[in-house]
Structure 1
């Protein structure tokens, strides 16, 4: 079986499953946040006369309406906190960062788990060889009430990256290239499995970006087999990495498609408005003037991402007309970055520090993009109006590229800033 089939089979209590079968799976963990969580599922559970099936298997995180800037936001936050108390949810992380980053950093993900999340970027969990996917509030209410969910066993699309990415290139560039080549429905609602030397060489937070943006390919899940990097990350989160070697696809397992890309040949990518699929090498957009450079989101402001940006920005300043903004993906990552000097390099370049939340990426808060603003962003999506005014234009790139563009005041290739003796 493929990795996804192995996990689904275990969750369904079966020894074997085949693509296309419909099975009922026991959920190992359910993750919900303040936006799509308690305020939407609590009324449904109340009508059902049901509580949460197992509070120990639920993780609740506030990250969308953070900070609470108006009465509506404050009301939603209060509903969230009250739900945590009423349902006795111990794993409640209030204002600690974006759910997709907080969940693994607090040790809640392990290889082989079957996990449901109340957010479209829930496939992030696949970086830990867990089958994790997003559902809407109605489906989540069913999961919270019963601890189960039905699933059509997915076919697997294997995406192999040979070679290794070069200096100034990141997992974000890999994903933007895939969006351009395969399209936004390239996953066809199946399971994407990332493999090859180029993937194995990536640190865990870069793998998280690959799995996260499986959603942009239209996939239900984006998985990476468990290995030494997985084990080391689990250990750092206080999780015992036992018997993880089984969580990989069997040799000879069948996949519906197999795509091969050369990581060593990949240049930094930039996606033009208003789709990640509008990606092309940075040279095609170089010179486009920007007003805002945004280092944020679950695909662009983890500790690894902050280090990328800092490597370019250290000792330099953002262009005077550019509003450089940084919203670290988690409070824990922010404090590590502060302690090691990474955050200082970004702030010294002129960045404004925003809360550890989804913020501008998802169109929340008071810093949304204004009319006709052009932004370079490390986020996963640049749909029209998502990050603010419909007249605004968002270009997507890696933290490297976002930082270089902030310095020049226009879209720029980050690689010259990373040459020996310059960074």
Structure 2
């Protein structure tokens, strides 16, 4: 029996000709990632184990993105610990205020992830990099600490679900709508410890940013990872970014999948995940009675320049409804600068929004947009659990940048056509 794309990458990194679902392997790593929340714990474990050196200072990335610029003394202390560690071991890829970006947008942008590589990160949304044809997954801080020293870690080889895509996206529909639709179909545990492997003619209709968004939220279906085949879209993105050889892996024709999920992209409409789970997927057209207090457009899920462009197209010449707060967060410094050059920043400010430095802050209810009791937010982030963005009695509605921007203008949850056709 043949192997899936994920299984092939894992076999190569384990030095084996083949692996099978359920098999325990030890695999070498191309990159180990941590952020300002998870890295301090990993450093503590690293030091308590008595490690004296890292496996490769060029293959560790530490990104200070969650609570920076430092929101309080605890955040400042955590970042100081990371800075000290990075300086001690000459970590090449240390990103702090002024050079930082939201980690899962920053690493692909900087060419730190390439097709065929194996990446772990002490952040659950590390699965984002499957969009580039890499195996990437989130781990705990203890595993990160050990991996920084050893350069390898263990995995149980996952089985796979094939997501077969056909058709083309309709206007205003994006990768966010596709992944919310998929999670609505299979549930938040529908792919538990499995690989979501995307195939079919529809793959070529998705931009690299659609793919990054889709893989980012693979974990919201319980998946170990999400992964797309390497094609011309992938190659165009990594060209000029990745400066090292890489290998494109492809699933065998007789690869074994637990099941196949069929999605016609042409049938996907703008979709919203209602509180309090990403699987509560409904049409954006059914939200007229859902008045909102805030919109957040950004995060590792939807903070790319394409996302900023989608929001700007809706907000241009329009203003947020009275009482609605708008928070725009470009995911990296480069995207922030591009927003200024493209005129998006002026559009956002004219619409009554604030534009923030790159940060994860509001996504996890940390800072820069926490919600009070009874407040509702339409957010382009990835989770809407109870209390995720603030008070336990607040509500988060997950949506695309186009839906979030349109909802901000309308003052209630709505489809972009409702705003654009006026």
TM bucket, shorter chain: over 0.9
Structure 2 unpaired stretches of 5+? none
1:368 maps to 370
1:169 maps to 173
1:304-347 deviations in whole A, cap 9, x for unaligned?
11111111111111112111111111111111121111222222
Where do 1:243-282 residues align within 5 Å?
244=247, 246-282=248-284
**Residue 271 of structure 1: CA displacement?**
1.1
1:17 maps to 19
Counterpart pick for 2:130 among 115, 126, 129: 126
TM-score normalised to the size of structure 2?
0.96
Distance 2:60 2:162 in 1: 31
Where do 1:243-392 residues align within 5 Å?
244=247, 246-392=248-394
Taking only aligned residues, the RMSD between alpha carbons, in angstroms, comes to 1.4
1:45 maps to 46
TM-score normalised to the size of structure 1?
0.95
Q: Which secondary structure state, in structure 2, belongs to the residue aligned with residue 165 of structure 1?
A: coil
**Residue 378 of structure 1: CA displacement?**
0.9
Distance 1:78 1:365 in 2: 19
Q: Which secondary structure state, in structure 2, belongs to the residue aligned with residue 55 of structure 1?
A: coil
Counterpart pick for 2:239 among 223, 229, 235: 235
Counterpart pick for 2:198 among 190, 194, 198: 194
Q: Identify the range of structure 1 (43-52 vs 181-190) with the bigger mean alpha-carbon deviation.
A: 43-52
**Residue 148 of structure 1: CA displacement?**
1.4
Count of matched residue pairs = 417
1:8 maps to 10
Structure 1 unpaired stretches of 5+? none
1:220 maps to 224
**Residue 287 of structure 1: CA displacement?**
3.2
Residue 3 of structure 1 contacts residue 248 of structure 1 at CA under 8 Å; is this kept in 2? yes
1:142 maps to 146
Residue 105 of structure 2 contacts residue 303 of structure 2 at CA under 8 Å; is this kept in 1? no
Distance 2:72 2:318 in 1: 36
Residue 324 of structure 1 contacts residue 350 of structure 1 at CA under 8 Å; is this kept in 2? yes
Q: Which secondary structure state, in structure 1, belongs to the residue aligned with residue 312 of structure 2?
A: helix
Q: Identify the range of structure 1 (366-375 vs 3-12) with the bigger mean alpha-carbon deviation.
A: 366-375
Q: Identify the range of structure 1 (40-49 vs 306-315) with the bigger mean alpha-carbon deviation.
A: 40-49
Residue 45 of structure 2 contacts residue 145 of structure 2 at CA under 8 Å; is this kept in 1? yes
Matched, 1:158 2:162: yes
Residue 98 of structure 1 contacts residue 298 of structure 1 at CA under 8 Å; is this kept in 2? yes
2:411 maps to 409
Residue 156 of structure 1 contacts residue 192 of structure 1 at CA under 8 Å; is this kept in 2? yes
Distance 1:14 1:188 in 2: 25
